[in-house]
Protein backbone atom coordinates (compact mmCIF):
# COMPACT_ATOMS: atom_id res chain seq x y z
CA UNK A 1 0.00 0.00 0.00
CA UNK A 2 1.22 3.47 -0.89
CA UNK A 3 -0.19 6.59 0.81
CA UNK A 4 0.99 10.12 -0.03
CA UNK A 5 0.43 13.30 1.96
CA UNK A 6 0.05 16.57 0.06
CA UNK A 7 -0.29 20.12 1.32
CA UNK A 8 1.06 23.62 1.46
CA UNK A 9 4.13 24.77 3.39
CA UNK A 10 3.34 24.47 7.10
CA UNK A 11 0.25 22.27 6.70
CA UNK A 12 1.71 19.47 8.82
CA UNK A 13 2.73 16.91 6.19
CA UNK A 14 5.94 15.77 7.86
CA UNK A 15 4.35 15.51 11.30
CA UNK A 16 1.42 13.48 9.97
CA UNK A 17 3.79 11.28 7.98
CA UNK A 18 5.75 10.52 11.16
CA UNK A 19 2.64 9.79 13.22
CA UNK A 20 0.90 7.61 10.65
CA UNK A 21 4.07 5.69 9.80
CA UNK A 22 4.41 4.75 13.46
CA UNK A 23 0.72 3.98 14.01
CA UNK A 24 0.19 2.03 10.78
CA UNK A 25 3.62 0.40 10.61
CA UNK A 26 4.40 1.95 7.23
CA UNK A 27 7.82 3.00 5.99
CA UNK A 28 8.02 6.83 5.89
CA UNK A 29 9.50 8.66 2.91
CA UNK A 30 10.37 12.27 3.66
CA UNK A 31 10.85 15.31 1.50
CA UNK A 32 14.50 16.32 1.11
CA UNK A 33 14.74 19.42 3.33
CA UNK A 34 18.46 19.91 2.61
CA UNK A 35 17.97 21.52 -0.80
CA UNK A 36 21.11 23.67 -1.14
CA UNK A 37 19.15 26.36 -3.01
CA UNK A 38 16.31 26.88 -0.56
CA UNK A 39 17.82 29.67 1.53
CA UNK A 40 18.92 31.55 -1.59
CA UNK A 41 15.49 31.01 -3.13
CA UNK A 42 13.61 32.74 -0.32
CA UNK A 43 16.04 35.66 -0.58
CA UNK A 44 15.82 35.98 -4.39
CA UNK A 45 13.07 33.87 -5.98
CA UNK A 46 13.65 35.12 -9.52
CA UNK A 47 17.28 34.07 -9.52
CA UNK A 48 16.98 30.69 -7.84
CA UNK A 49 13.51 29.34 -8.72
CA UNK A 50 14.64 27.08 -11.57
CA UNK A 51 17.61 25.70 -9.63
CA UNK A 52 15.42 24.98 -6.62
CA UNK A 53 12.71 23.20 -8.59
CA UNK A 54 15.06 21.10 -10.72
CA UNK A 55 16.86 19.93 -7.57
CA UNK A 56 13.55 18.96 -5.96
CA UNK A 57 12.39 17.21 -9.15
CA UNK A 58 15.55 15.11 -9.31
CA UNK A 59 15.25 14.03 -5.68
CA UNK A 60 11.53 13.35 -6.06
CA UNK A 61 12.12 11.24 -9.18
CA UNK A 62 14.71 9.16 -7.35
CA UNK A 63 12.16 8.59 -4.59
CA UNK A 64 9.47 7.75 -7.16
CA UNK A 65 11.70 5.06 -8.67
CA UNK A 66 12.28 3.59 -5.20
CA UNK A 67 8.51 3.58 -4.59
CA UNK A 68 7.90 1.83 -7.88
CA UNK A 69 10.29 -0.98 -6.97
CA UNK A 70 9.24 -1.30 -3.32
CA UNK A 71 7.00 -4.05 -1.96
CA UNK A 72 6.63 -2.36 1.44
CA UNK A 73 3.74 -0.30 2.76
CA UNK A 74 4.82 3.31 2.25
CA UNK A 75 3.72 6.77 3.33
CA UNK A 76 5.25 9.74 1.51
CA UNK A 77 5.69 13.38 2.54
CA UNK A 78 4.73 15.40 -0.62
CA UNK A 79 4.53 14.08 -4.18
CA UNK A 80 6.29 14.80 -7.46
CA UNK A 81 3.01 16.16 -8.85
CA UNK A 82 3.04 19.06 -6.41
CA UNK A 83 6.44 20.24 -7.58
CA UNK A 84 5.11 20.73 -11.11
CA UNK A 85 1.43 21.57 -10.76
CA UNK A 86 1.74 23.74 -7.64
CA UNK A 87 5.19 25.19 -7.08
CA UNK A 88 6.75 25.48 -10.54
CA UNK A 89 3.45 26.58 -12.10
CA UNK A 90 2.97 29.24 -9.40
CA UNK A 91 6.50 30.55 -9.85
CA UNK A 92 6.00 30.88 -13.59
CA UNK A 93 2.57 32.50 -13.29
CA UNK A 94 3.94 34.97 -10.74
CA UNK A 95 6.82 35.98 -13.03
CA UNK A 96 9.37 34.37 -10.73
CA UNK A 97 10.44 31.70 -13.25
CA UNK A 98 11.25 32.57 -16.86
CA UNK A 99 9.09 30.92 -19.53
CA UNK A 100 12.01 29.04 -21.12
CA UNK A 101 13.03 27.70 -17.69
CA UNK A 102 9.45 26.66 -16.94
CA UNK A 103 9.07 24.93 -20.31
CA UNK A 104 12.36 23.08 -19.76
CA UNK A 105 11.25 22.05 -16.29
CA UNK A 106 7.85 20.79 -17.51
CA UNK A 107 9.46 18.82 -20.34
CA UNK A 108 11.59 16.95 -17.81
CA UNK A 109 8.54 16.46 -15.56
CA UNK A 110 6.42 15.06 -18.40
CA UNK A 111 9.17 12.58 -19.26
CA UNK A 112 9.26 11.54 -15.60
CA UNK A 113 5.51 10.99 -15.12
CA UNK A 114 5.49 7.59 -16.78
CA UNK A 115 7.86 6.30 -14.11
CA UNK A 116 5.69 7.43 -11.21
CA UNK A 117 3.32 5.13 -9.32
CA UNK A 118 -0.02 6.72 -8.43
CA UNK A 119 -0.70 6.64 -4.67
CA UNK A 120 -3.41 4.26 -3.48
CA UNK A 121 -4.62 7.18 -1.38
CA UNK A 122 -3.61 10.86 -1.41
CA UNK A 123 -4.26 12.78 1.82
CA UNK A 124 -4.59 16.52 1.18
CA UNK A 125 -4.00 18.70 4.24
CA UNK A 126 -6.09 21.79 3.49
CA UNK A 127 -5.26 24.79 5.69
CA UNK A 128 -5.99 28.53 5.63
CA UNK A 129 -3.13 31.02 5.44
CA UNK A 130 -3.41 32.02 9.16
CA UNK A 131 -3.06 28.35 10.13
CA UNK A 132 -0.07 27.90 7.81
CA UNK A 133 1.63 31.02 9.18
CA UNK A 134 1.04 29.88 12.77
CA UNK A 135 2.54 26.46 12.12
CA UNK A 136 5.48 27.88 10.15
CA UNK A 137 6.27 30.16 13.08
CA UNK A 138 5.80 27.28 15.52
CA UNK A 139 8.49 25.17 13.87
CA UNK A 140 10.83 28.15 13.49
CA UNK A 141 12.88 27.39 10.38
CA UNK A 142 14.90 30.55 9.74
CA UNK A 143 14.67 30.41 5.95
CA UNK A 144 10.85 30.25 6.12
CA UNK A 145 10.40 33.40 8.17
CA UNK A 146 10.45 35.58 5.05
CA UNK A 147 7.62 33.71 3.28
CA UNK A 148 4.88 36.17 2.34
CA UNK A 149 1.20 35.48 3.02
CA UNK A 150 0.20 36.22 -0.56
CA UNK A 151 2.67 33.55 -1.73
CA UNK A 152 1.01 31.01 0.58
CA UNK A 153 -2.43 32.06 -0.65
CA UNK A 154 -1.44 31.57 -4.29
CA UNK A 155 -0.18 28.09 -3.43
CA UNK A 156 -3.45 27.32 -1.61
CA UNK A 157 -5.43 28.35 -4.69
CA UNK A 158 -3.33 26.06 -6.87
CA UNK A 159 -3.63 23.16 -4.44
CA UNK A 160 -7.43 23.43 -4.42
CA UNK A 161 -7.54 23.58 -8.22
CA UNK A 162 -5.19 20.62 -8.54
CA UNK A 163 -7.23 18.45 -6.15
CA UNK A 164 -10.58 19.41 -7.70
CA UNK A 165 -9.71 19.45 -11.40
CA UNK A 166 -6.38 17.76 -12.20
CA UNK A 167 -5.50 14.91 -9.83
CA UNK A 168 -7.31 11.69 -10.75
CA UNK A 169 -6.41 9.37 -7.88
CA UNK A 170 -8.34 8.58 -4.70
CA UNK A 171 -8.18 11.47 -2.21
CA UNK A 172 -8.94 12.21 1.42
CA UNK A 173 -9.16 15.90 2.35
CA UNK A 174 -8.38 16.89 5.95
CA UNK A 175 -9.37 20.40 7.05
CA UNK A 176 -6.42 21.29 9.27
CA UNK A 177 -8.17 24.45 10.57
CA UNK A 178 -10.76 22.21 12.22
CA UNK A 179 -8.58 19.16 12.85
CA UNK A 180 -5.33 20.18 14.54
CA UNK A 181 -3.83 16.73 14.99
CA UNK A 182 -0.71 18.25 16.55
CA UNK A 183 -2.58 19.79 19.48
CA UNK A 184 -5.28 17.09 19.70
CA UNK A 185 -3.87 13.57 19.20
CA UNK A 186 -7.39 12.09 19.33
CA UNK A 187 -7.91 13.43 15.83
CA UNK A 188 -5.34 10.92 14.59
CA UNK A 189 -7.74 8.10 15.46
CA UNK A 190 -10.41 9.70 13.26
CA UNK A 191 -7.92 10.20 10.42
CA UNK A 192 -6.84 6.56 10.61
CA UNK A 193 -10.51 5.54 10.48
CA UNK A 194 -10.99 7.67 7.35
CA UNK A 195 -7.85 6.18 5.79
CA UNK A 196 -9.07 2.64 6.38
CA UNK A 197 -12.45 3.52 4.87
CA UNK A 198 -10.78 5.23 1.92
CA UNK A 199 -8.63 2.20 1.18
CA UNK A 200 -11.54 -0.24 1.07
CA UNK A 201 -12.21 -1.51 -2.46
CA UNK A 202 -15.23 0.02 -4.16
CA UNK A 203 -18.23 -2.30 -4.57
* 0.85 surpassed by pTM: yes
Structural domain contains residue 63 = yes
pLDDT at 203: 46
Whether the pLDDT of residue 39 is over 90: the answer is no
Domain of 88 in residue numbering reads as: 2-198
**Number of compact structural domains in the chain:** 1
Q: Is the pLDDT of residue 146 over 70?
A: no
Among 32, 34, 77, 180, which one carries the catalytic annotation?
A: 77
| Predicted pLDDT at 140 | 66
Mean residue pLDDT across the chain: 91
Q: Is residue 126 part of a domain?
A: yes
Report if residue 203 sits inside a domain. Answer: no
pLDDT at 37: 93
Higher-pLDDT residue of 201, 102 = 102
Q: Mean of the pLDDT values across residues 14-27?
A: 95
Q: Return the pLDDT at 202.
A: 53
**pLDDT attached to residue 62:** 92
Is residue 144's pLDDT more than 60? yes
Write the DSSP string, the chain.
Answer: -EEEEEE-TTSSHHHHHHHHHHHHTPEEE------TTHHHHHH-HHHHHHHHHHHHHHHHHHHHHHHHH--S-EEEES-HHHIIIIIIHHHHHTTSS-HHHHHHHHHHHHHHHTTPPPPSEEEEEE--HHHHHHHHHHHT-GGGTT--HHHHHHHHHHHHHIIIII--S-EEEEETTT--TTT-THHHHHHHHHHHHHTSPP-
> What does the pLDDT read at residue 35?
87
CATH number of the domain that residue 25 is part of: 3.40.50.300
Residue 77 among the catalytic residues: yes
pLDDT beyond 60 at 153 = yes
Amino acid sequence: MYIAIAGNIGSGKTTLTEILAERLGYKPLYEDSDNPYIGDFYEDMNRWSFNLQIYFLGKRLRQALDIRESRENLIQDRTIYEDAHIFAANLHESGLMATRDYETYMEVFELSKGLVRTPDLLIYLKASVPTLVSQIQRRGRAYEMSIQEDYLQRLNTRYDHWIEHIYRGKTLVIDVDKNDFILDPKIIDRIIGMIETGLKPEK
